[in-house]
């Protein structure tokens, strides 16, 4: 699978994470790195998700930058020309996902330039980087999770201000209008992020309709079909240093949600 790695620079960590991480990274800038198949939706990022049970590492990519992701992803990156030394994985510190919740990060291209890191139950440690950027307008999983978090912030141990950003229309489709995810959540009667079977179906429908019939509503490629905008947004983000190509060897994917 050919993902786009989205670099979300950390603006601030919560105190407990700051203590563990800052002294280990030196002068490096720290980024959470999310793997996405939908670079054209990055305008609509409202937050980022991590798994609270997942162990992440902070990895030195070179002298200037450190990436937060799973060890597995860092290892893959080391063999794809992303790190300064081929094959070398340099973990500076390990951190529990729960400690990252509440971090403030920059979301490149997003209409909301700074967003928060939030907990999601269905993040797979075996896919992508283990960090998921959230586009609730076009990802049913993201919309369902954001809705859960807004309903019960105390239960999820989050500050209500971290879920303040509403879904933003990014592309329009004949079947689902300006926001596919909320439309599909309603249509398939999905109650929460726990409805994983229906969510997998909603994801498939949103992917297909967005890709084949979607038209961009925002950004430099406004008015273009999604099929044409997708590679262009990706190239633009890579050229400006906000993203990189990240591939995942198919055989090593242990589990997929779809």
Which parts of this chain interact with ligand ZZB (CB under 6 A)? Answer: 1, 35-38, 41, 122-124, 127-128, 130, 132-133, 135, 138-139, 203, 206-207, 256-258
Q: How far is the CB of 107 from ligand ZZB (least distance, A)?
A: 11
Least distance to ligand ZZB, CB of residue 103, Å: 17
Q: DSSP letters of 83-95?
A: SSSTT---EEEEE
Nearer to ligand ZZB, 25 or 74 (CB): 74
Helix (H, G, I), strand (E, B) or coil at 62: coil
Q: Give the nearer residue to ligand ZZB in terms of CB position, either 103 or 193.
A: 193
CA dist., res. 244 & res. 240, Å (int): 10
Helix (H/G/I), strand (E/B), else coil: 138: coil
Residue 198: CB minimum distance to ligand ZZB, A: 13
**Closest listed residue to residue 174, CA positions, set 221, 239, 225:** 225
Would you report the helix, strand and coil content of the chain in percent, each value rounded to 5? 35, 25, 40
Token digits of residue 93:
């510190």
Q: Which is nearer to ligand ZZB, 41 or 103 (CB)?
A: 41
In the bound complex, what is the minimum distance in angstroms from residue 202's beta carbon to ligand ZZB?
7
Pick 25 or 149: Cβ nearer ligand ZZB: 149
Give 37 or 252: the residue with its C-beta nearer to ligand ZZB: 37
Residues 48, 8 contacting (CB under 8 angstroms): yes
First to last CA, the chain: 13
CA dist 102 and 99 (Å) reads 8
User: By C-beta, is 62 or 257 nearer to ligand ZZB?
Assistant: 257
Nearest approach, Cβ of residue 168 and ligand ZZB (Å): 11
Answer yes or no: are the C-beta atoms of 117 and 28 closer than 8 Å: no
CB of 30 to ligand ZZB, least distance (A): 20
């Amino acid at each position: 699978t050919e993902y786009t790695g989205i670099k979300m620079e950390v603006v601030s960590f919560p105190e407990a994470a700051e203590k563990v991480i800052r002294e280990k990274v030196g002068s490096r800038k720290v980024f959470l790195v999310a793997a996405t198949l939908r670079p054209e939706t990055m305008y609509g990022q409202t937050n980022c998700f991590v798994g609270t049970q997942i162990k992440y590492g902070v990895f030195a990519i070179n002298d200037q930058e450190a990436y937060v992701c799973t060890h597995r992803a860092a290892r893959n990156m080391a063999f794809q020309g992303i790190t300064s030394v081929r094959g070398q994985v340099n973990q500076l510190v390990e951190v529990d996902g729960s400690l990252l919740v509440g971090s403030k990060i920059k979301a490149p291209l997003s209409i909301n330039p700074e967003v928060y890191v939030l907990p999601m139950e269905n993040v797979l440690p075996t896919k992508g980087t283990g960090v998921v950027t959230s586009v609730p307008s076009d990802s049913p999983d993201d919309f369902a999770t954001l809705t859960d978090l807004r309903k019960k912030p105390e239960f999820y141990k989050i500050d209500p201000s971290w879920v303040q950003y509403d879904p933003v229309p990014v592309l329009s489709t004949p079947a689902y209008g300006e926001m596919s995810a909320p439309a599909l959540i309603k249509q398939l009667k999905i109650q929460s992020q726990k409805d994983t079977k229906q969510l997998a179906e909603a994801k498939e429908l949103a992917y297909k309709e967005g890709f084949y019939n979607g038209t961009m509503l925002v950004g430099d490629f406004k008015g273009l079909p999604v099929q044409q905008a997708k590679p262009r947004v990706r190239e633009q983000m890579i050229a400006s240093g906000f993203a990189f190509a990240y591939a995942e060897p198919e055989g090593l994917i242990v589990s997929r949600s779809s």
